[in-house]
Copies of this chain bind each other. A is one copy, B any other.
Amino acid sequence: MSDQNQENQRPAESAKPTELEDMLAHAAPDSASDPSEIYDGLHVGDVDEIVEALENGEIHRVRELVAHMHFADAADLVERLSPDLRRALMLAAYDVLDADFYTELDETVREEVVEIIGLDAMAEVVADLDTDDAIGIIDELDAHEQLQVLDAIPAADRTLIEEGLAYREYSAGRLMQRAVMTVPQFWNVGETIDFMRQIADEDEWETPNVFYDIVVVDPRHKPVGTIPLSTLLQSKRPVPVTEIMHERMKLIPVDMDQEEVAFLFRQRDLVSAPVVGDEGRLVGIITIDDVVDVIDEEAEDDILALGGVREDDLYSATLDTTRQRFSWLFVNLLTAIMASVVIGFFQGSIEQVVALAVLMPIVASMGGNAGTQTLTVAVRALATKELTSTNAMRQIGKEILVGCINGIIFAVLMGVVAWGWFGTPGLGVVIGLAMIVNMIVAGLFGAIIPIALDRHGIDPAVASSVFLTTVTDVVGFMVFLGLGAWLLM
Question: Interface residues, chain A, CB within 8 Å of chain B?
Answer: 21, 23-31, 36, 38-41, 44, 47, 70, 72-73, 76, 79-82, 104, 106, 181, 193, 196-197, 199-200, 208-212, 228-236, 248, 253, 256-257, 260, 263-269, 271, 288-289, 291-292, 295-296, 299-300, 302-304, 306-309, 312-314, 318-319, 321-322, 325-326, 328-329, 332-333, 336-337, 339-340, 343-344, 347, 350-351, 354-355, 357-362, 364-366, 369-370, 372-373, 375-377, 379-382, 384-396, 398, 401-402, 405-406, 409-410, 413-414, 417, 451-452, 454-455, 473, 477
How many copies of this chain sit in the oligomeric assembly? 2
Tell whether, in the assembled complex, residue A24 and residue B271 are in contact, meaning their CB atoms are under 8 Å apart: no
CB distance from A198 to the nearest CB of B (A): 9
Residue of B nearest to A331 (CB): B369
CB distance from A430 to the nearest CB of B (A): 14
Cα A325 to Cα B359 with chains together (Å): 22
**Contacting residues, chain B, for A38 (C-beta < 8 A):** 257, 260
CB distance from A93 to the nearest CB of B (A): 18
Take A212-B230, A229-B230 as given contacts and tell me if A393 and B24 are in contact as well, using a CB distance cutoff of 8 Å: yes
Cβ contacts A to B, 8 pairs, < 8 Å: A24-B451, A38-B260, A72-B268, A76-B267, A106-B386, A212-B271, A296-B299, A347-B354
Tell whether, in the assembled complex, residue B350 and residue A354 are in contact, meaning their CB atoms are under 8 Å apart: yes
Tell whether, in the assembled complex, residue A366 and residue B306 are in contact, meaning their CB atoms are under 8 Å apart: no
**Contacting residues, chain B, for A387 (C-beta < 8 A):** 28, 314
Provide the main secondary structure of the chain A interface: helix
**Contacting residues, chain B, for A370 (C-beta < 8 A):** 325, 329
CB distance from A302 to the nearest CB of B (A): 6
Cα A387 to Cα B312 with chains together (Å): 12
Tell whether, in the assembled complex, residue A455 and residue B26 are in contact, meaning their CB atoms are under 8 Å apart: yes
**Contacting residues, chain B, for A228 (C-beta < 8 A):** 210
CB distance from A456 to the nearest CB of B (A): 9
CB distance from A127 to the nearest CB of B (A): 20
**Contacting residues, chain B, for A417 (C-beta < 8 A):** 337
Q: Shortest 4 CB-CB distances between A and B: which pairs?
A: A307-B376, A299-B299, A28-B388, A200-B234
Chain B CB within 10 Å, residue with most, of A263, A269, A319 = A269
Chain B CB within 10 Å, residue with most, of A38, A208, A395 = A38
Take A289-B269, A406-B322 as given contacts and tell me if A358 and B343 are in contact as well, using a CB distance cutoff of 8 Å: yes
**Contacting residues, chain B, for A319 (C-beta < 8 A):** 405
Q: A23-B452, A304-B380 are in contact. List 6 more A-B contacts (CB 8 A).
A: A38-B260, A39-B256, A80-B386, A181-B230, A303-B380, A336-B361
